[in-house]
Structure 1
Amino acid sequence: MTSMGKTRRMMSAGLVGAALALTLAAPARAGETPTAATPDARPAPAADTGPAPAADRSPAPAADRSPAAGRRHAPALGWRLTPTGTDARFRGLAAVDRRTAWAAGSKGTVLRTTDGGRSWRNVSPPGAEGLEFRDVEAFDARRAVVLAIGEGEASRVLHTSDGGATWTESFRNTDPRAFYDCMTFFDHRNGLAMSDPVDGKYRILSTRDGGRSWRVLPDAGMPDALPGEAGFAASGQCLVSAGPRDVWLATGGAAAARVLHSADRGLTWTVAASPIPAGDPARGVFGLAFRDRAHGLAVGGDYRKDQPSPRAAAVTSDAGRTWRAPAAPPPAYRSGVAWLPYGRTSALAVGPTGTDLTTDGGRTWRTVDAGSYDTVDCTPDGSCWASGEQGRVARLAQG
């Protein structure tokens, strides 16, 4: 999920009107077009593995399923599926602008579009079929960095500067205790990646050259992790940034679902509890989004489809020092969240059972789509994208 510290711009009145139209519309299934949506009647994805003690502490791919046929009335604004030609699950998504986006997922798959999703080019690194890409950070149509997750050497970082024609591995984890989950970039050069706790503290990697080289930061300023605490590699949003120095880290699997904040690019951290459900390896904060250094959203819950998530979101207005529960939260587990580019109070949250919209800064949420997505990203020029299981990548479009 690309951030690079940019505050979302205010967009035209027409786009604001479209957002309001989506607010008032009845929930609709995700489909091929926003005006004649194809229902997605698939059951929720198979249960995901949570943090420790499972070997793969990130949500696992779901079984193959095909959407059911049918039609129903759709809102003026909705997800438009794009043809990717693959059944990979895309938990990594980097939307650059209206025309350019990158998706990274299972089976070492990386896709890129430069025509707004009308076509996708498979730019997967050669020999990466055994890797699980869970995050991608892209700066433009040529430069991108992808993170593969897993214990030991399964955690790797690769980068490209020629649109995926060639890839270079810039980091391979050699510590069997480490498990890397997410990345974020402050700008085109400076970025961080995070691992689940090693020796009781989260491990942070740092790059100053756009992902071409990495070093482990000292952990003296990192608070102790709780027993059983870890991150979720569910959407590429367990580590996010806003502005040139601020970064937040989402946690779960322990007695409390916490959010850590650093104002100095990962050298020192503070920690705060959130009201999102905790107390189980399957529960916690799965995704974060900050529109500036003060205002942020957290989503998560319990990813098990047979378990309720009554408090699946939280909101902060003080840089994450305190978090409060929404008056009307999303009705179920959500793994990804993004601020809409055409307003300072509107955002989308996505998960395997649907998409929710807030227009009041996270105080209340309403379900507007029932399709399955794992992550969502929006660009300053007014484009929003979502991705998930079975090769699903979609754009938010006005009908």
Structure 2
Amino acid sequence: MVRRMAAAGLCGAALAAALAAALAAPAQGAEGAGVHTGWRPKDSGTDARFRGLAAVDRRTAWVAGTKGTVLRTRDGGRTWRNVSPPGAEGLEFRDVEAFGARRAVVLAIGEGEASRVFRTDDGGATWSETFRNPDPRAFYDCLTFFDTRHGIALGDPVDGKYRTLATGDGGRTWRVLPTGGMPAAQPGEAAFAASGQCLVSAGRRDAWFATGGATTARVFHTADRGRTWTVAEAPLPAGDPARGVFALAFRDARHGLAVGGDYRPDQPSPRAAAVTADGGAAWTPATQPPPAYRSGVAWLPYGHRSALAVGPTGTDVTADGGRTWRALDSGSYDTVDCAQDGGCWASGEKGRVARLEPTR
């Protein structure tokens, strides 16, 4: 995902140091040298469920969710401005990609015309609907950008192959890409629009998307912005429509994380995370995975080995590149995102939004 980030100053460096110390500490409340790190809830003023989240920096973030709701903060979450597109109350926003405090692209999901893309250049004061899905068989789940101009969106299989859209002008226009370079989908396979992270990118040409609902969970990879794809099996729960890989995070073109499991609250998810060091060609199960289903994951922007995973039953943290995870927080969140200045945000049901903050 591409964001225009604020330069990290002394405050950002101090936050990063405090978080790094906490993450390296023994697993008792993420404490270390008197430092405690956890989610600090922010009052969003709404009960919408926010599965779409874009962290611009420690002060600025966007969330998108149910009832066509889009909010933006520029003061670290103390206040939120409702910048929802007019007339979008019946839409389900599941992904938002932001390029600062003024420019963002949001995706609404659903069959046929329910799948739409909107774009703003003025902080949400006005929006343009730049794509409305004309195919009743198509259902779009996630979107990502390689840079400020080039991006793709992922749709569930149509005629046995996943459908992708592409933009080369920052989301002003979109085109359906040919499927000749797309491997065939498994029967019953689909992507999960649970956190805006079923499709992610790293660098200017590489992207990955995650699947579930079929015999095996899988991760697809493109190195040419969606023209051709390869696919690999992922060792996460599968074999049921409720199981699979729900979210991905790549810190570069080789190192990635996958989280998921079974989203039903009465079902276990014993293998809820995996890692790759070769761009997704092969995946290794976490030796100590999160204890339950996780729907969102994000690398911390320092140290190169620390990341957060969130879900309905809590947040877990890794300090060894995803091999082992330990509990950080018990609150319910659907998605998580971190900016380059160390600002990490999470969002979820009932208007939940929080920022990761150190305290003493």
TM-score range, shorter chain: over 0.9
Identify the residue that residue 287 of structure 2 maps to in structure 1: 327
Identify the residue that residue 26 of structure 2 maps to in structure 1: 24
Say if 2:108 is the partner of 1:148: yes
CA offset at residue 25 of structure 1?
5.0
Identify the residue that residue 250 of structure 1 maps to in structure 2: 210
CA distance in 1, matches of 2:235, 2:17: 30
How has the CA–CA distance of structure 1 residues 263 and 296 changed in structure 2, closer, same or farther, with 3 Å as cutoff?
A: same
For residue 284 of structure 2, give the secondary structure of its aligned residue in structure 1: coil
Identify the residue that residue 360 of structure 1 maps to in structure 2: 320
CA distance in 1, matches of 2:29, 2:354: 17
The 5 A counterparts of 1:239-318 are 239-318=199-278
Gaps of 5+ in 1: 29-33, 35-73
CA offset at residue 20 of structure 1?
3.0
Runs of 4+ deviating beyond 6 Å:
none
Identity of aligned residues (%): 74
Identify the residue that residue 311 of structure 2 maps to in structure 1: 351
1:335-365 C-alpha deviation (Å, 9 max, x unpaired)? 0000011210000000000000000000000
CA distance in 2, matches of 1:104, 1:14: 26
Say if 2:185 is the partner of 1:184: no
CA offset at residue 99 of structure 1?
1.4
CA distance in 2, matches of 1:356, 1:20: 16
How has the CA–CA distance of structure 1 residues 143 and 14 changed in structure 2, closer, same or farther, with 3 Å as cutoff?
A: closer
CA distance in 2, matches of 1:336, 1:178: 24
For residue 40 of structure 2, give the secondary structure of its aligned residue in structure 1: strand
Write the letter of the residue equivalent to 2:288. Answer: A
1:94-119 C-alpha deviation (Å, 9 max, x unpaired)? 01111111000000000001111111
- Are the counterparts in 1 of residues 2 and 99 from structure 2 also a CA contact under 8 Å? no
Write the letter of the residue equivalent to 1:15. Answer: A
CA distance in 1, matches of 2:88, 2:326: 39
TM-score where L is the length of structure 2: 0.94
- Are the counterparts in 1 of residues 192 and 212 from structure 2 also a CA contact under 8 Å? yes
Of the three residues 177, 180, 183, the one matched with 1:220 is 180
Of the three residues 105, 127, 131, the one matched with 1:167 is 127
For residue 21 of structure 2, give the secondary structure of its aligned residue in structure 1: helix
Say if 2:335 is the partner of 1:375: yes
Gaps of 5+ in 2: none
For residue 153 of structure 1, give the secondary structure of its aligned residue in structure 2: helix
1:24-64 C-alpha deviation (Å, 9 max, x unpaired)? 35249xxxxx9xxxxxxxxxxxxxxxxxxxxxxxxxxxxxx
CA offset at residue 4 of structure 1?
5.6
For residue 196 of structure 1, give the secondary structure of its aligned residue in structure 2: strand
CA distance in 1, matches of 2:334, 2:212: 17
Say if 2:323 is the partner of 1:386: no
How has the CA–CA distance of structure 1 residues 92 and 18 changed in structure 2, closer, same or farther, with 3 Å as cutoff?
A: same
- Are the counterparts in 1 of residues 166 and 175 from structure 2 also a CA contact under 8 Å? yes
CA distance in 1, matches of 2:35, 2:241: 37
